[in-house]
Structure 1
Amino acid sequence: MDLKFIKYEKRNHIAYITFNRPERMNALHPPCHVEMDNVWDDFVADKSAWVAIVTGAGDKGFSAGNDLRWTAENRGQVLEGLRAKGGFAGITARYDIYKPIIAAVNGFALGGGFEIALSCDIIIAADHARFGLPEPRVGLMAAAGGVHRLPRHVPLKIAMGMMLTGKHITAADALRFGIANEVVPLKDLIPTAEKWAAEIMECSPLSVQASKQAAMDGLGIPVQQAIAKHYDLQAKLFKSKDAIEGPLAFSQKRKPNWTGE
């Protein structure tokens, strides 16, 4: 895969995805979104990749969002970004990734950068990280899902306060509001994300994916409908090799050997 703006590697069932434009605070431009589409396609298709960790290069920015300088300099090419089917960073408008995604926020997560983090399942933040949707301050809005996801993550008044003022919040506030799962010193950021990934991978990858799919598909509908909606998913899971291995390993008092099949 030919990638110029993204680093992508896989080790021990973990896919590491790094926005690699530190000179622009990892702000993303249309070619980045197209590359990220390809990365997510590969992650979904690779049965040996069970968890993704997303972060930014350097120690200042996870992602400063949309590269406004690039937009100003390349007005005629902005539509190129529409070729990214998954939206901003290939993720904000993609709803078929049921493998868990961890955002390791290593600095500023602003605008689209915050929207990327909100699209992930777990957020680990460095203690100097900051979050915000400052789009109204430059005549825009957080249209890549931020205006919808943030009010679903935090109380409405907190979300409106952030969105209508464009103010940043600290990592400590993100933890207090329930946006971040854990806040750690920068040196511990990736190891902590890997710790979470390891704990996830103690579970069956198929069970994890089914749990995420059922939870996400059930949002916004009554519980009775949500439960009925995942009957087929549950039946498919119960027929898997992992569903046989789990109870067997438990009865034999050993760790299960998950295959994702």
Structure 2
Amino acid sequence: MTVRTEKTGTTLLITIDRPQARNAVNAAVAAGLAAALDLLEADPELRAGVLTGAEGTFSAGMDLKAALAGESPEVPGRGFGGLTEAQTTKPLIAAVEGWAMGGGFELALGCDLIVAAEDAKFGLPEVKRGLIAAGGGVIRLPKRIPYHLAMEFLLTGEPVSGVRAGELGLVNRVVPSGEAAAVALQLAEKISANAPLALAAVKKIVRAADGVPDADAFAAQRRELASLMGSQDVREGMQAFAERRDPVWQGK
């Protein structure tokens, strides 16, 4: 099994498990990640996901040997690794130890938050192989950090450490080596305490607002807010606040 899943409370821990290939993405990994995301979406008890790699490496990116043999690391409609173009409703956190190179970095960029070990390595070396970072790197990275810094990644292909990624604002937390998954799970637990419909609405509105005029973004937000205001969870949230207790979310 190249992708393992484990329920940890209300979080699904997703682990790429090809340590002998530095967790590089082949067709089996892509299919496994797509299936894991389906599980996360379908299970009402799960509120968030954490994506990591086995044995101290996040992912070395596309498995070049598999690609040369004709395997595709993409899932139609879901992009590289079955993740980079997937439209998920539940928050997903990347927990990065070791190398997150090429497509591995792009998997992390496809998540909503990133926790990185201080000695992790992030890089987009595709130009060194005559390629481009087509799994979201070229598109997403200039939106996450300043243009000139993103272009240094994309044009030199040189990696940076987890500490540097933190300085650039590319990751949410920088933690000691070996602690990325644990901290990501803690972060997921905090997120999961919030209303699931509201979390999904935040993700949907952020996607809808990307690159569109403010008027269109606010229109999309009004539609989502109208749906939220009719939900049982909004009433529960207000009532719990008034009664000074923790809300019990139903997701409806």
- SS at 2:58 equivalent: strand
* From 64, 67, 70, the counterpart of 2:66: 70
1:144 Cα deviation from its structure 2 partner:
0.9
Equivalent residues in 2 for 1:1-261, closer than 5 Å:
4-59=1-56, 61-72=57-68, 74=69, 77-78=70-71, 80-94=72-86, 96-261=87-252
Deviates more, 1:213-222 or 1:111-120: 213-222
Cα distance in 2 for partners of 1:91, 1:201 equals: 21
1:246 Cα deviation from its structure 2 partner:
0.3
Tell me which stretches of 4 or more aligned residues in structure 1 moved more than 4 Å: 80-84
What is the TM-score normalised by the length of structure 1?
A: 0.92
- SS at 1:243 equivalent: helix
Deviates more, 1:29-38 or 1:124-133: 29-38
> What RMSD over aligned residues (CA atoms) do the two structures have, in Å?
1.3
AA at the equivalent of 1:129:
A
Cα distance in 1 for partners of 2:75, 2:174 equals: 35
- SS at 2:95 equivalent: strand
Cα distance in 2 for partners of 1:123, 1:36 equals: 17
- SS at 2:15 equivalent: strand
Cα distance in 1 for partners of 2:155, 2:194 equals: 40
> For structure 2, which runs of at least 5 residues remain unmatched after alignment?
none
> For structure 1, which runs of at least 5 residues remain unmatched after alignment?
none
1:50 Cα deviation from its structure 2 partner:
0.8
Cα distance in 1 for partners of 2:155, 2:8 equals: 41
- SS at 1:85 equivalent: coil
CA contact (8 A) 2:25 2:73 kept: no
What is the TM-score normalised by the length of structure 2?
A: 0.96
AA at the equivalent of 1:169:
V
